[in-house]
Amino acid sequence: MLIGSLVCCAAIYAFAKLVGLWRGPLPTGLGLLAYSTIWPGVATRPFAQRRPANRTAAFSLMAQGTAVMAGAVTCWIMLWHSDIGPFARGWLGIAVILCTFHLGLSDVVTGGLRLNGFAVRRLFDAPLRSRSLREFWSLRWNHAFVQMNQVVFMPALRRRFGRHAAVAAFLLSGLLHELAISFPVGAGYGTPTLYFALHAAATNAEGRLKVLRWHPWARRLWTWAWLLLPLPLLFHRAFRDALVLPLVGGTR
The structural domain count of the chain equals 1
Residue 24 has a pLDDT of: 87
Instruction: Please tell me the distance from the alpha carbon of residue 122 to that of residue 174, in angstroms, as a whole number.
Output: 23
CA dihedral 40, 185, 175, 4 (to 10 degrees): 60
Instruction: Please tell me the distance from the alpha carbon of residue 189 to that of residue 38, in angstroms, as a whole number.
Output: 31
pLDDT tens digit at each of 252 positions of the chain = 667 667 888 888 899 999 999 998 999 999 999 999 999 999 999 999 999 989 999 999 999 999 999 999 999 999 999 999 999 999 999 999 999 999 999 999 999 999 999 999 999 999 999 999 999 999 999 999 999 998 889 999 999 999 999 999 999 999 999 999 999 999 999 999 999 999 999 999 999 999 999 999 999 999 999 999 999 999 999 999 999 999 998 766
Residue 8 has a pLDDT of: 82
Residue ranges making up the domain that contains 6: 2-248
- Are the C-beta atoms of 87 and 99 separated by less than 8 Å? no
